């Protein structure tokens, strides 16, 4: 899905893989692997590509007209990696420029990033299993299964699992931000 969209945008602009690589700072090999669906791009890579086209990252997930109904099947969802860390999110809804809904899993000791980072958005994390520690500035908020937390993402933040159990959560981000 992402690879096909990237190839469409690149060829519509008349760009070769090498010229796109030059503009993004990514390797032509990596871009080719993304286009062929061999590798899943990180959010940082998606941001670099979207910037070349003067668009949001969400446009790389553009699937045409908004569907009245979209079923997201397990095992068929696209995955994106956190731009600042170790978590890989699974996209639960088709791309659109208004909202990103992602599924995140953190194993014991893992976090979404090494350091807190900020971006312009509002995020809401709903914890499915475990206890998610959400760092916002210097404050730590423990969110248990069944609870949700909404944060102003312009404050430096990150998601952590400080427990011996896996944490699974749903993250909604408006507007979608890498």
Tokens 């299964």 appear where?
A: 145
Q: Outline which parts of the chain fall under CATH 1.10.260.40.
A: 2-61
148-176 pLDDT tens trace: 999 999 999 999 999 999 999 999 988 87
Residues near 20 by beta carbon (within 8 Å), at least 6 away in sequence: 10, 26, 28, 31, 49, 52
Where exactly does CATH 2.60.120.10 map onto the chain? 79-174
Third-level CATH fold of 2-61: 434 Repressor (Amino-terminal Domain) (1.10.260)
> CA–CA separation, 23 vs 40, rounded Å?
20
Mean pLDDT of 111-131: 91
CATH of domain 79-174: 2.60.120.10
Does residue 177 surpass a pLDDT of 70? no
CB 142, CB 131: distance < 8 Å: yes
Q: Can you point out the beta strands (E) in the chain? A: 79-81, 88-91, 100-106, 122-129, 131-136, 139-144, 148-152, 157-160, 167-174
pLDDT at 111: 93
Which tops the pLDDT comparison, 38 or 135?
A: 135
Nearest Cα to 161, choosing from 178, 144, 176, 177?
144
**pLDDT value, residue 74:** 78
Instruction: Give the pLDDT of residue 65.
Output: 44
Percent of the chain with pLDDT over 90: 42
| Predicted confidence (pLDDT) per residue in 4-24, tens digit | 888 888 888 888 999 999 999
3-state secondary structure of 47: helix
Average pLDDT value for residue range 69-79: 69
């Amino acid at each position: 899905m992402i690879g096909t969209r990237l190839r469409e945008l690149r060829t519509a602009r008349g760009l070769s893989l090498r010229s796109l690589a030059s503009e993004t700072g990514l390797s032509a090999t990596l871009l080719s692997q993304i286009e062929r669906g061999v590798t899943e791009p990180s959010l940082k890579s998606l941001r670099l590509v979207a910037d070349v086209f003067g668009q949001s990252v969400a446009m790389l997930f553009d699937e045409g007209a908004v569907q009245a109904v979209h079923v997201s099947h397990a095992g068929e969802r696209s995955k994106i990696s956190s731009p600042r860390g170790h978590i890989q999110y699974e996209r639960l809804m088709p791309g659109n420029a208004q909202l990103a809904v992602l599924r995140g899993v953190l194993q014991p000791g893992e976090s979404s990033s090494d350091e807190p980072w900020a971006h312009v958005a509002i995020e809401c994390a709903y914890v499915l299993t475990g206890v998610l520690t959400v760092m916002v500035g210097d404050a730590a908020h423990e969110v248990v299964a069944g609870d949700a937390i909404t944060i102003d993402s312009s404050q430096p933040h990150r998601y952590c699992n400080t427990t011996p159990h896996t944490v699974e959560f749903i993250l909604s981000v408006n507007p979608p931000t890498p």
